[in-house]
Structure 1
Amino acid sequence: MSPLLEAEQAVLGAVLLNPGQLRQLGWLAPEHFHRPVHQALFAAMRKLHADHHPASTAENSVPLSWVTDTVEEASRHVRGLTTSHAHTLISACPHPDHAPVYGRMVLEGAIHRSVTAHAIRLHQAARADALQGEVEGALRSADVLRNVLNDLARRWGTEPRPVAPGTPSVPGPVTPPPSWTNQVAEDEQLLLGVLAERPKAMDEVVGWLRPADFADPAHGEVYRCLGALHHRGEPIDRITLLWEAQQRGLLADGTLSSGRLAAICDGVGPGSAEWFGEQVMRSSVTRTAATSARAVQALAENEALAPGRLINHALHALAPLDEVRARWQSANGRSAPTPPAPSPNGPPPAQVHAARTRSTSRPASPPAPRPGFAPSPATVRPPSRGHS
């Protein structure tokens, strides 16, 4: 049995033994449990507690109806649940007063699962957009992932902020479909041809298009050469471009060849630099979204990574997409959304309470009795731990 499953059983057993523990678990939600039966049981406990079940106000002993009513309420949403299963959960709880710690473990597992699931959705949306020549699906999925990270940070009690990992994970390369690769390469080459033929067209794209936006690194280096000549105010033609490439060592290291540069400069046809630039920019957005999604997924699948660090590292992994998105919005005459600024007064009180609730030390008390097991004469059990 995995540690996470044992933690889920323990926190449920703790609340079955002592419903008052729910007051310490306000930051834990049913959807944070992995198993549907555990989700149903925790939701049932919260509902009965909110409806002022007699167990919620019991000061000494907890009425046995607390267990039976919880099982009955949960059975409306899952099948096959019995009272014996509830007693199994009670037996799995080493100490009811440790419920906030067990709940923290459950929340940790939920954070990793949730971040993984949304990263996968972002990757799928980016791939779908790339095939359809769109970007909106990927950008919406990125917004959802960011909102999820911010919400999880509040539940965990930390301030969401991008932090670079000490040893950054390197996701595997994104393998685009052949049709996508061919179209992107053609758009990139046509754009470079237009810029080499009509140097003034650089003014249409230089403000928002970067060498890293080109899928083909060689095309990105050609664009870098064009940008350098444009910045220095020097003439742009096949010869000056070839010379600039040589000065940058691109011919010596094999990145470019004189024949390839000649093909780019001589193969131009009619076209708009701004239009081709937007096509290159669009593929850059979806490609960056897919890369960011893979990086976030790799972080979330590392179970040893603490939730606070996972959230902040994931926000850092989304930063390249934010930068590309801002330039995409600029190319289309729209402003990029501004992320919320941190509160100058520190984290909200509810966020601080969530963090403190999970870590507040409590005085040790004897373990609760298990139904069906009589205490030995030498063991003193407080009456509040049993069911009557």
Structure 2
Amino acid sequence: MNPLLRAEQAALGAVLLDPGQLSYLDWLSPDHFYRPVHRALFAALRKLRNDGHPALTAEKSVPLSWVTDAVAEAGLHVRGLTAVYAHTLISACPRSAHAPVYGRVLEGAIHRSIAAHAIRLRQAARADALQGGVEGSLDYADVLSGVLGDLARRWGTKPRPVAPATPPATAPAVPPPVRADRTAEDERFLLAVLTERPKAMDEVVGWLRPGDFAAPAHGQVYRCLAALHHRGEPTDPITLLWEAQRRGLLTDGTLSGDQLTAICDGVGAGSAEWLGEQVLRSSVARTAAASARAVRALAENEALPPGQLINHALHALGPLDEIRTRWQDASGQPAPKPSATDPSPNEPPTAQVRAALTRSTPRRVPGPTEQRGSAPTPASARAPARGHS
């Protein structure tokens, strides 16, 4: 059986055995459980606790009504739950005092949540690629960044971008054929304009990079044009050809003389700034899709601890943050991006964060001699009882 599913059963079984364990699981919410029946049962147990169920003040053993009432309440919201399954959950709990550790079902919830949001970012990027937009990709990147920050606080760690030791394996992007043809055409037109009118480089050189070109050969031509512009040398088909030769692009197969001739002989009329923005738009969508694939690959690695997953996912969004800044410069409408480390109005309070950290340090169960010599304590602090009356 999946370890996270076993942990869900054990956490619920611990609370059914000892209602006081709920106070150590306040950092969990019903939607952190994978199975609908588990979500409904955990919500029911919290409702009974909030309503002041008599089991919370039981002096000796936990009354059977704690289990039956929880099953009845959960049965109002989900089908198929019986008292038999509730006792199966009790049997699945080795030690009720270890409930905070079993509460690591939050790990599975973190992986599932990040994977789901990565899929949505990929869908937004594909829509932008088809429509020639950027808003959907950038907006949903903000959503994913905010989710990562919130999950980091719930897990009890500080969100910070950290590169993984081994980059996740992702499938190569396959752009929509129609849009790919349009992007290649825009790139060729832009390079022709920059070759015909070298001063037009001033309009794009501040925010357009060689990596923004979908075709690697086009990116290398742009790099040559930018180098000539940077050195203040004349730009024409001959100097461009010489610069490509000097960089070894003609000998290593990156470029061919025919490709350069086709670009130099192209129509050089048009706005370099407008064409550059079209190239950058396509680059934003591709970068968003690449980041989404990387984040999803990380989330699907079940062996990756949540803290590392969150920080690696933030690192995977880094290229999208960088190209966002350049897009804002190009469009002339900069908009501040919410930081993933900014406090969320819905973030759990400090007490819940401290409770979350107890998942790694379960409470010590008093020994038999300590139990005999101790004074009566409230039900929430008693050693867990494994029976019901």
Assess same fold via TM > 0.5.
yes
Counterpart code for 1:227: A
Alignment RMSD, CA only?
Answer: 2.1
After TM superposition, give the deviation of residue 383 of structure 1 in Å: 8.5
Tell me the equivalent position of 1:168.
167
| Kept after mapping to 2: 8 A contact 1:11/1:102 | yes
- How far apart are residue 338 of structure 1 and its match? 4.1
Q: 1:342 Cα shift?
A: 5.6
**Is 1:198 equivalent to 2:197 in the alignment?**
yes
Code of the residue aligned with 1:95 in structure 2: it is R
Please name the residue that 1:76 is paired with: 76
Q: Report the counterpart of residue 95 of structure 1 in structure 2.
A: 95
For these two proteins, the number of residue pairs brought into alignment is 371
Are 1:11 and 2:11 counterparts? yes
2:186 is paired with a residue whose SS is helix
What secondary structure does 2:308 align onto? helix
Q: Check conservation: 1:60, 1:383, Cα contact below 8 A.
A: no
Q: What does 1:343-382 align with in structure 2 at a 5 Å threshold?
A: 349-350=350-351, 352-364=353-365
Q: CA deviation at 1:282?
A: 0.5
* Corresponding letter in the other structure for 1:314: A
- Give the 3-state SS of the residue equivalent to 1:311 in structure 2: helix
User: Retained in 2: the 8 A contact 1:156–1:354?
Assistant: no
Q: Which runs of 5+ in 1 are unaligned?
A: 368-381
Distance 1:159 1:348, change over 3 A: farther
Output the CA distance in 2 between the equivalents of 1:55 and 1:328.
60
Aligned counterparts of 2:165 and 2:134: Cα–Cα separation in 1: 31
Q: Which is further off, 358-367 or 30-39?
A: 358-367
**1:341 Cα deviation from its structure 2 partner:** 7.9
Map 1:82-231; keep pairs closer than 5 Å: 82-104=82-104, 106-231=105-230
| 1:204-239 Cα shifts (integer Å, max 9, x gaps) | 111110000000000000111111111111111111
In structure 2, the gaps of 5 or more residues are 343-347, 369-382
Of the structure 1 ranges 230-239 and 61-70, higher mean CA displacement relative to structure 2 is found in: 61-70
Corresponding residue number in structure 2 for 1:236 = 235
Q: Tell me, in whole angstroms, the C-alpha distance in 2 between the residues paired with 1:256 and 1:385.
A: 75
Describe how 1:310-329 pairs up with structure 2 within 5 A: 310-329=309-328
Q: Percent identity?
A: 74
Asked whether the equivalents of residues 21 and 99 of structure 1 are also in contact (C-alpha less than 8 Å), the reply is yes
> 2:292 matched to which residue of 1?
293
Contact 2:27–2:352 (CA under 8 A) maintained in structure 1: no
- Residues 306-356 of structure 1 show CA distances to partners (whole Å, capped at 9, x for unaligned) of 11001000000000010011111111112242443868xxx9844751443
Q: C-alpha separation between the residues in 2 aligned to 1:57 and 1:190?
A: 78
User: How many Å apart are 1:303 and its aligned residue?
Assistant: 0.9
Take 1:147 and 1:198, find their aligned partners in 2: how far apart are those partners?
44
Q: What is the rounded CA distance, in whole Å, between the counterparts of 2:135 and 2:50 in structure 1? A: 41
Structure 1 outlier segments of 4+, above 3 Å: 338-343, 347-352, 364-367, 382-385
**CA positional deviation for 1:366:** 8.5
Report the CA distance between 1:61 and its aligned residue. 2.1
